Amino acid sequence: MEHFILKIENLILTYSHGFELNIPELNFQKGKIYALVGPNGSGKTTTIRSILGLLKIDSGHVSYEGKVYNTNSAEYRSEEHRVGNECRSRWSPDH
């Protein structure tokens, strides 16, 4: 069984100007290096901002080290930046 440090499932984010980011499933294995590639405006930065909790998503959830962050729960709203802070602290050049 593969261990995923970060899992994104059924993530949907809609901007007011009609852009919709829809990620049915995206998994990251621990110890691997990944790159998001695509043309300008395809949602790469929006995806990262959503994972880090910098943007509120409409539905779906992010799991980090097995803990699920659901945007519809009070727990997510109270800890919405924890995932981003944890990722930034672990992946920063000073760490």
Q: pLDDT, tens digit, for every residue of 7-40? A: 999 999 998 788 899 999 999 998 899 999 999 9
CA distance 81 to 55: 10
Q: Confirm if 54 and 84 have CB atoms less than 8 A apart.
A: yes
Strands, E assignment, 1-95: 4-14, 20-29, 59-64, 67-70
CA distance 21 to 46: 8
CA distance 18 to 72: 21
Does 76 have pLDDT greater than 60? no
Stated pTM of the model: 0.69
- Supply the mean pLDDT for the chain: 79
